[in-house]
A and B are shown apart, each in its own frame.
Chain A
């Protein structure tokens, strides 16, 4: 791009003149949060959520619409050739560090799991001469998974945990299938990427569709697993620390898989529309990085929540 600056060997960094997206996104986000907070407080106090739910849904709809248009604008700008190579690097860095922040979010929950297993529960069982729990809950024995809570009256414990049940029951063990599914989907998304780089649209669309399908199956199986936990095992959010860590870790992971599958389906739709070039497809790459990230989190989950 020509500029009046003598130093014309550099491309101009595209800075949009102004944008209405951020203020609307902030408004949507706030309405969502205010509605959600009022709904939760209403339910807790017994008054019911009432109109707060509508505020939350409205806020979420505004936020979603804004984000949709925001991304659409970025895509349109890219088609117009506005972003320089340097700006594209900013997007890459942005995604990279966003994933890092997500890793740290999961680290908080894994940290809680390790702390509880390594220290809190053994101490409740009286280890290390920490006697107070022996007075409060003399019968409590520290075992993981915690099947009998210190106070079974306040927190009704599960009958059974979601732990690995041995090879004999492996075929009916959903988390194992989910591991296989998610690991395969990381491979299929890689094949789709290869198709994109080789300018083979059929390969791209085929493998990407399979990846999205595997993601959906994963979410479906996890829903099955939650139903089994609630209905057959008595394993619920309020069944003590095992349920707390189990559902928040797997639940937030499941939420991220949903988000990742949504991102990949957007990429699939864009692939069908003819977006992406072999040398310019960062939207796809960002979504696939995110997919690999949820895959890695699952491997850690499978090891620390289910197996070990």
Chain B
């Protein structure tokens, strides 16, 4: 093994020359320390996981197309819901945002690369191994984890299939990846901003990621802790989640949701950043209320730590707990409302054009707000007793995650693809992709609100006859949305392979450091810091603004 060190040390000798391009062949991607390469790796990986998790979702929708058991066994159905959730949360949404962070943060703050480039590569390369291990459980005799992505004890301990052990270690590995990734992002933002790039001049995407990275650092270790308790309950006879030994299954839910609720914001705060960039660009105005956006994001992050038990209203908490978590949850509507107000005010009297990223961004604002409102309904403890574990909850969190997080990722990809590839994507196909996704997603998830209110439980492969019509509609929407994403893959690949050349500025209303470098962005940008004052993103007046 010592030759590894020798070769690496060898590389260190010719480091002075920072301006040669990427290495040739596959090793470029495996050994790379370049933030743009690693960003691309994250994004491609996330796309692959998105399609895999999406396939699982289509299995679910296929089974639910009609009442009765058609295609899969109930146990396999449970494996599908579990794997769909795990892969979408940890494999698709989170890595996509880390990929965007890798690509954009160094360019946005005028840094030469991420702060710790080798560790950056490690953060990525753990993921394919972890997800291969997780996905391989589908092929094992005991079957994949079947206890839901929230893996509540005792389903995930006493009654778990033996593959739970692989699941636990996969989560440990993802956690290590996330912790290293967030350390890198924090160190980059704290330490590598170009002189003059003060905190309050940073683009909002950088701000939201800084706060997200703190959330990750605070809660991924707690996730590691809770799966470790599971591991010991399963293999070493401890009784954390077993009341017969003095423990409590509800303890699992407390520890899990202490991670899980901030996790929800980990998946949405970077989206807020993306949307803030895009709406400002295509409205040709500065972002309205930059400072309040920063404070609102921070407030949401703070509140995310004191609302976790709103996922547990029906566990029999004391009344004081129900009330505290209900009111604390409702408080989140205030900073979120500030953000929505600011996005709309940014568009107000702007000269708006509707390119694909802007279409996704506007759909985000409308549909995410709807998901937020159903969140408020769920926050009301007595009402939640009715909604709990129904399709209403499924509809709620898919509205914030799909037209929320996923739409923002797609908006970001369309927005920055010309910068990454040097080519414009096909605008007509992009718009077609948007409209198919927009229509598909609403046909898919809107009826689920009614199903839930009428009492259809989640994670069930069969249902009563009165739910049949809405389920059929929902499944049709699901397949429409699912297959539309193949168009997205096509547009991205087409753009990577060629197209109309993009200018450095790309978009008429764009401002920020990333638009000052050529398209495609050179392999190394800002080896020494760029001057900031005239480029500063958020707060400096540019001609014709406002």
Q: Check: B129 CB closer than 8 A to any chain A CB.
A: yes
Complex Cα distance, B178 from A98, in Å, reads 12
Q: Check: B340 CB closer than 8 A to any chain A CB.
A: no
Shortest beta-carbon distance, A90 to chain B, in Å? 4
Complex Cα distance, B459 from A280, in Å, reads 57
Q: With A5-B527, A237-B238 as known contacts, state yes or no: A41 contacts B165, CB within 8 Å.
A: yes
Q: Give residues of chain A (38-53) contacting chain B, Cβ–Cβ below 8 Å.
A: 40-41, 43-45
Shortest beta-carbon distance, B238 to chain A, in Å? 4
Contact string, A233-251, partner B, CB cutoff 8 A, digits 1/0? 0001110111111011000
Contact string, B1-31, partner A, CB cutoff 8 A, digits 1/0? 1101101110110111011000100011011
Shortest beta-carbon distance, B5 to chain A, in Å? 4
Q: Write out the residue numbers on chain B whose beta carbons fall within 8 Å of the beta carbon of A135.
A: none
Question: Is there contact, CB below 8 Å, between A15 and B12?
Answer: no
Q: Write out the residue numbers on chain A whose beta carbons fall within 8 Å of the beta carbon of B454.
A: none
Complex Cα distance, B217 from A21, in Å, reads 23
Q: With A23-B125, A44-B235 as known contacts, state yes or no: A150 contacts B529, CB within 8 Å.
A: no
Question: Is there contact, CB below 8 Å, between B33 and A15?
Answer: yes
Question: Is there contact, CB below 8 Å, between A17 and B254?
Answer: no
Question: Is there contact, CB below 8 Å, between B23 and A16?
Answer: no
Question: Is there contact, CB below 8 Å, between A154 and B4?
Answer: no
Q: Check: B250 CB closer than 8 A to any chain A CB.
A: yes
Question: Is there contact, CB below 8 Å, between A98 and B183?
Answer: yes
Q: Give residues of chain B (178-211) contacting chain A, Cβ–Cβ below 8 Å.
A: 179, 182-184, 186-188, 190-192, 195
Question: Is there contact, CB below 8 Å, between B33 and A18?
Answer: yes
Q: With A18-B33, A102-B221, A120-B248 as known contacts, state yes or no: A69 contacts B133, CB within 8 Å.
A: no
Shortest beta-carbon distance, B230 to chain A, in Å? 12
Complex Cα distance, B11 from A80, in Å, reads 13
Contact string, A4-17, partner B, CB cutoff 8 A, digits 1/0? 11011010111111
Q: Check: B258 CB closer than 8 A to any chain A CB.
A: yes
Question: Is there contact, CB below 8 Å, between A33 and B173?
Answer: yes
- Which of these, B162, B169, B187, B244, contacts A150 with CB under 8 Å? B244
Q: Write out the residue numbers on chain B whose beta carbons fall within 8 Å of the beta carbon of A267.
A: none
- Segment at the A interface, from B108-116, B389-397, B534-542: B108-116
**Which of the listed residues B112, B190, B226, B528 has the most CB atoms from chain A within 10 Å of its own CB?**
B528
Question: Is there contact, CB below 8 Å, between A26 and B122?
Answer: yes
**Total A-B residue pairs with C-beta atoms closer than 8 Å?**
288
- Which of these, A13, A25, A33, contacts B113 with CB under 8 Å? A13
Q: Write out the residue numbers on chain A whose beta carbons fall within 8 Å of the beta carbon of B128.
A: 26
Q: With A17-B33, A20-B8, A241-B246 as known contacts, state yes or no: A12 contacts B1, CB within 8 Å.
A: no
Question: Is there contact, CB below 8 Å, between A27 and B129?
Answer: yes
Q: Write out the residue numbers on chain A whose beta carbons fall within 8 Å of the beta carbon of B546.
A: none
Question: Is there contact, CB below 8 Å, between B122 and A25?
Answer: yes
Question: Is there contact, CB below 8 Å, between B245 and A240?
Answer: yes
- Segment at the B interface, from A109-117, A174-182, A220-228: A109-117
Q: Check: A37 CB closer than 8 A to any chain B CB.
A: yes
Q: Write out the residue numbers on chain A whose beta carbons fall within 8 Å of the beta carbon of B11.
A: 16-19
Shortest beta-carbon distance, A178 to chain B, in Å? 23
A236's nearest neighbour on chain B, judged by CB, is B237
Contact string, B130-149, partner A, CB cutoff 8 A, digits 1/0? 10010000000000000000
Shortest beta-carbon distance, B258 to chain A, in Å? 7
Question: Is there contact, CB below 8 Å, between A97 and B217?
Answer: yes
- Segment at the B interface, from A70-78, A187-195, A202-210, A291-299: A70-78
Question: Is there contact, CB below 8 Å, between B248 and A115?
Answer: yes
Q: Check: B126 CB closer than 8 A to any chain A CB.
A: yes
Q: With A105-B225, A237-B238 as known contacts, state yes or no: A16 contacts B118, CB within 8 Å.
A: yes
Shortest beta-carbon distance, A68 to chain B, in Å? 8
Shortest beta-carbon distance, A56 to chain B, in Å? 11
- Which of these, A7, A137, A248, contacts B238 with CB under 8 Å? A248
Question: Is there contact, CB below 8 Å, between B528 and A12?
Answer: yes
Question: Is there contact, CB below 8 Å, between B246 and A146?
Answer: yes
B222's nearest neighbour on chain A, judged by CB, is A108
Complex Cα distance, B96 from A15, in Å, reads 23
Complex Cα distance, B124 from A93, in Å, reads 20
Shortest beta-carbon distance, A241 to chain B, in Å? 3
Q: Check: B376 CB closer than 8 A to any chain A CB.
A: no
Question: Is there contact, CB below 8 Å, between B229 and A248?
Answer: yes
Question: Is there contact, CB below 8 Å, between B8 and A26?
Answer: no
Question: Is there contact, CB below 8 Å, between A12 and B246?
Answer: no
Q: Check: A219 CB closer than 8 A to any chain B CB.
A: no
Question: Is there contact, CB below 8 Å, between A18 and B31?
Answer: yes
Q: With A101-B179, A107-B222 as known contacts, state yes or no: A237 contacts B236, CB within 8 Å.
A: yes
Complex Cα distance, B529 from A221, in Å, reads 53
Question: Is there contact, CB below 8 Å, between A133 and B243?
Answer: yes
Chain A interface category by residue count: 35 or more
Q: Write out the residue numbers on chain B whose beta carbons fall within 8 Å of the beta carbon of A91.
A: 116
Q: Write out the residue numbers on chain A whose beta carbons fall within 8 Å of the beta carbon of B531.
A: 7
Complex Cα distance, B111 from A27, in Å, reads 30
Question: Is there contact, CB below 8 Å, between B15 and A104?
Answer: no
Q: Check: B239 CB closer than 8 A to any chain A CB.
A: yes
Q: Write out the residue numbers on chain B whose beta carbons fall within 8 Å of the beta carbon of A7.
A: 528-531
Q: Check: A130 CB closer than 8 A to any chain B CB.
A: yes
Complex Cα distance, B228 from A305, in Å, reads 19
Q: With A44-B162, A93-B186 as known contacts, state yes or no: A21 contacts B8, CB within 8 Å.
A: yes
Shortest beta-carbon distance, A285 to chain B, in Å? 16
Q: Write out the residue numbers on chain A whose beta carbons fall within 8 Å of the beta carbon of B264.
A: none
- Which of these, B121, B162, B247, B254, contacts A19 with CB under 8 Å? B121
Q: Check: B232 CB closer than 8 A to any chain A CB.
A: yes
Question: Is there contact, CB below 8 Å, between A33 and B243?
Answer: no
Q: Check: A286 CB closer than 8 A to any chain B CB.
A: no
Q: Write out the residue numbers on chain A whose beta carbons fall within 8 Å of the beta carbon of B316.
A: 130
Question: Is there contact, CB below 8 Å, between B18 and A108?
Answer: no
Question: Is there contact, CB below 8 Å, between B122 and A22?
Answer: yes
Question: Is there contact, CB below 8 Å, between A16 and B12?
Answer: yes
**Which of the listed residues A3, A22, A245 has the most CB atoms from chain B within 10 Å of its own CB?**
A22
Question: Is there contact, CB below 8 Å, between A62 and B169?
Answer: no
Q: Check: B220 CB closer than 8 A to any chain A CB.
A: yes
Question: Is there contact, CB below 8 Å, between B118 and A150?
Answer: no
Q: Check: A128 CB closer than 8 A to any chain B CB.
A: yes
Shortest beta-carbon distance, A27 to chain B, in Å? 7
Question: Is there contact, CB below 8 Å, between B255 and A243?
Answer: no
Contact string, B271-297, partner A, CB cutoff 8 A, digits 1/0? 000000000000000000000000000
Contact string, B154-183, partner A, CB cutoff 8 A, digits 1/0? 000000001001101110110010010011
Complex Cα distance, B125 from A66, in Å, reads 14
Complex Cα distance, B189 from A94, in Å, reads 12
**Which of the listed residues B2, B12, B19, B245 has the most CB atoms from chain A within 10 Å of its own CB?**
B245
A25's nearest neighbour on chain B, judged by CB, is B122
**Which of the listed residues A37, A80, A245 has the most CB atoms from chain B within 10 Å of its own CB?**
A37
Question: Is there contact, CB below 8 Å, between B15 and A36?
Answer: no
A144's nearest neighbour on chain B, judged by CB, is B246
Q: Write out the residue numbers on chain B whose beta carbons fall within 8 Å of the beta carbon of A30.
A: 129-130, 133, 173
Complex Cα distance, B255 from A120, in Å, reads 13
Q: Write out the residue numbers on chain B whose beta carbons fall within 8 Å of the beta carbon of A237.
A: 232, 236-238
Question: Is there contact, CB below 8 Å, between B224 and A105?
Answer: yes
Complex Cα distance, B252 from A219, in Å, reads 30
Shortest beta-carbon distance, B76 to chain A, in Å? 21
Question: Is there contact, CB below 8 Å, between B5 and A72?
Answer: yes
Shortest beta-carbon distance, B301 to chain A, in Å? 14
A107's nearest neighbour on chain B, judged by CB, is B222
Please, could you name 7 A-B residue pairs with CB atoms under 8 Å apart, sorted by A? A5-B528, A16-B118, A17-B11, A116-B246, A116-B247, A237-B232, A241-B240
Given contacts A5-B527, A29-B176, A244-B239, 8 further A-B contacts (CB under 8 A): A10-B529, A23-B30, A26-B126, A73-B8, A82-B15, A120-B243, A154-B242, A248-B238
Give 5 nearest A-B pairs by CB, closest first: A108-B225, A238-B237, A241-B246, A69-B5, A22-B122
